[in-house]
Structure 1
Amino acid sequence: MGEARGAAPRAAALALLLLLLAAGAGYCLWRRAAGGGRRARRGPGPGPGPGAPCGPPSDNHPPESTHTMDADDLQKLIHLLQSTDDPLIQEQALITLSNSAAFSINQDIIRNLDGLSVIGRMLSDCVPRVKEKALNALNNLSMNIKNQKEIQVYIMQVCKDIESASLNSELQQAGLRLLTNMSVTSDYHHMMINSIPCFLHLLSEGNERTQIQVLKVLVNLSANPAMTRHILRAQVPSLLLLFDNCINRDILLRALMFAANLKKNVNNEDSTMLQNQHNEDSVFVTLCGDSTPFAQKLASLLHHPDTEVKEQVVRILTQ
């Protein structure tokens, strides 16, 4: 009897989800026709100029469409997410909200329906897949500047989740993607200061996918002069390994952008004073001090076949 009573609400919730999924099916058709999905929106490249923040591009946004879910559908979906403890239903509801948030009109509607706080509460869920889907939804919603003002309250929790998540896990990736969007402007950089050692640890220990995503965050942070001292004092013994001709091009290019940003900012400081404040494994000594190994790496990279890589090397050498 108890199981039968419990199954009925779940079946009703799943039925509602199916209806809402059908209402948003046009989005999936558009994404398949566009041929890119999330990759097309997130901006895999380093940005429009040398050292530019890594984040969502200004073009190639999904069109406004009559296939987007209306406010009533979104309200039902948010209420369903708020009222259920079933991880399966939570996960599917978050996926639907995440897909809906790819449309700018829905980003505003979800915020106005208090959906950001409902999704944000899912970050406290102990089920990693639910937390991951909540991060994905917030990531899409963070493409909206007004939404970022509300999402910022979760930044420190997201930083903790990245640190405690399994290395290279989908949960860790989702958190880093959200921080990439939230760090495109310098407004929220101060909330990530304590996580800089964690980011650099992931840069040393993570796989290529993790390294690329961490570097997107670090490039954004390093473009802000106010973050320079916090980054320079951090320890990362294996940092030089990223500056090699055989390294994945996306990793190498972003690592060079990271170094170029720091080098530019250090030029405005008293380098002798900075030198005395850092030990030999610090980012400063590795990249900005009198480092013969780094200079040798840069000299070798001047012969790299990729034009953008060579441009970043020249940028470092001429600052």
Structure 2
Amino acid sequence: MGDDTVVARLFSVKALLGIVAGAGASYGIYKLVFSRAGDAGVNRKKSAKSVTIQPGSLMAKVSGFKVVSKSDNLDPTVDSESSDIFSKSAANLEPRHLSMLLSLLQSSPNLEERRKVLVTLGNAAAFTVNQDLLREFGGLHIIAGFLSDPSPEIRVQTLNALNNLSMNIRNQEQLKIYVSSVMQMIEMSPVNSDLQLAALRLLTNLSVTDNHQHLMKGSITLLLSLLVVSSEVLQIQVLKVLVNLSSNPDLMDDIVQAQVNKHVFYGFCCNAFTVL
């Protein structure tokens, strides 16, 4: 990277950090008041929807990186191969295993089973070959369909899986249609929740290039607001997204037009250097 590019990027970051907090003060107060009520509601839902894995079921035999399957949906030939699937790790999954996981994800009414499948798919999606296979199988849209699942834990695991899948440029072309849903999830979720953090990680990947940055233009004020009310961990993740956006000249005007509060500039300088 040339010296001029480095100077320009540091200038854009400095400009960004100089205006981060003013736009978010009123929004932050609102989220702080209502996030506790949201947390209580989530806890009640978790208690009401606890799931027990039946002894002897396939799920009872699977843990960690092992693949989850559902024998009653398979013909006898496929069922006879299930023991071989259970012995494989996410790095060694074959195309038919990924297809079976996607099928199970759509058909299983068991919350814990769906969570296990999403975790397994997320682990598998760390490998480029699986990222391509899951796209070819239509898996990106199948997985993204669980962004609206009633369970917060399912939504977190969905975001984690999509985060790994979004490291593939061709996958980003399909995932861009979910940017607005992810931004809405950030806005509606309790501040500093796992949901917000997982969603921001996905947006970080989707904003690395300028191909889809314009889709986040309308949420710049929301991102700036989170810098006022969130924890240090979340602030750093927000800054990663904002630094990506600030590298786009077409978005700098939108960032600069946010209200300025110079008092927060020094407070976020250290975080900015950590991001860089």
Specify if TM > 0.5: yes
Amino acid paired to 1:20: V
Q: How many residues align?
A: 207
**Cα distance, 1:233–1:85 mapped onto 2, change above 3 Å:** farther
Q: Is the 8 A contact 2:246 2:252 kept in 1?
A: yes
Q: Residue 59 of structure 2 aligns with which residue?
A: 14
1:17 touches 1:77 (CA, 8 Å); kept in 2? Answer: no
Which has the higher Rg, Structure 1 or Structure 2? 1
CA distance in 2, matches of 1:236, 1:14: 53
Aligned to 1:105: 129
How has the CA–CA distance of structure 1 residues 235 and 127 changed in structure 2, closer, same or farther, with 3 Å as cutoff? Answer: farther
Q: Distance in 1 between matches of 2:52 and 2:241?
A: 44
Give the C-alpha shift of residue 113 in structure 1.
Answer: 1.1
> 2:118 is matched by which residue type in structure 1?
L
TM-superposition CA deviations, 1:65-85 (whole Å, max 9, x none): xx4211111111111101123
Instruction: State whether residues 125 and 161 of structure 2, in contact with CA within 8 Å, keep that contact through their aligned partners in structure 1.
Output: yes
* Runs of at least 5 residues in structure 1 that lack an aligned partner in the other structure: 1-5, 28-66, 258-319
Q: Which of residues 153, 163, 168 is equivalent to 2:187? A: 163
In 2: Cα distance, 1:214 partner to 1:7 partner: 37
Please tell me the root mean square deviation across aligned C-alpha atoms, in Å.
2.5
* Larger mean Cα displacement after TM superposition, 172-181 or 67-76: 67-76
1:123/1:131 contact within 8 Å kept: yes
**Cross-structure match for 1:253:** 273
Is the Cα–Cα contact under 8 Å of residues 201 and 236 in structure 1 kept in the other structure?
no
Unpaired segments ≥5 residues, structure 2: 1-50, 69-85
Deviation (angstroms), 1:243: 1.8
- Are the structure 2 counterparts of residues 195 and 13 from structure 1 closer, same or farther at C-alpha, using a change threshold of 3 Å? farther
Which amino acid letter does the alignment assign opposite residue 94 of structure 2? D
After TM superposition, the score normalised by the length of structure 2 is 0.69
Cα displacement (A) at 1:155 = 0.6
Percent of aligned pairs sharing the same letter: 40
Counterpart residue type for residue 72 of structure 1:
R
Distance 2:171 2:265 in 1: 35
Q: With the length of structure 1 as denominator, give the TM-score of the two structures.
A: 0.60
- AA aligned opposite 1:138: L
**Structure 1 equivalent of residue 266 of structure 2:** 243
Conservation of the 8 A alpha-carbon contact between 2:122 and 2:164: yes
Matched, 1:148 2:172: yes
Q: Distance in 2 between matches of 1:13 and 1:124?
A: 26
- Which residue does the alignment assign to 2:117? 93
1:232 Cα deviation from its structure 2 partner: 1.3
Residue in 1 aligned with 2:216? 192
The answer to which structure, 1 or 2, has the higher relative contact order (CA under 8 A, 6+ apart) is 2
Deviations 1:52-108 (A, max 9, x none): xxxxxxxxxxxxxxx421111111111110112322111111110000011111101
Aligned partners of 1:240 and 1:23: how far apart in 2? Answer: 56
The answer (yes or no) to whether the contact 2:197–2:237 under 8 Å persists in 1 is yes
Residues in 1 aligned to 2:55 and 2:100: alpha-carbon distance in whole angstroms = 15
| 2:212 aligned counterpart, secondary structure | helix
Which of residues 225, 229, 240 in structure 2 aligns to 1:205? 229
Counterpart for residue 82 of structure 1:
106
Q: Is the 8 A contact 2:239 2:272 kept in 1?
A: no
Equivalent runs, 1:211-290 vs 2, <5 Å: 211-235=235-259, 237=261, 240-244=263-267, 249=270, 251-253=271-273
Secondary structure, counterpart of 1:187 in structure 2: coil
Q: Which residue of 2 aligns with 1:287?
A: none
CA contact (8 A) 1:155 1:179 kept: yes
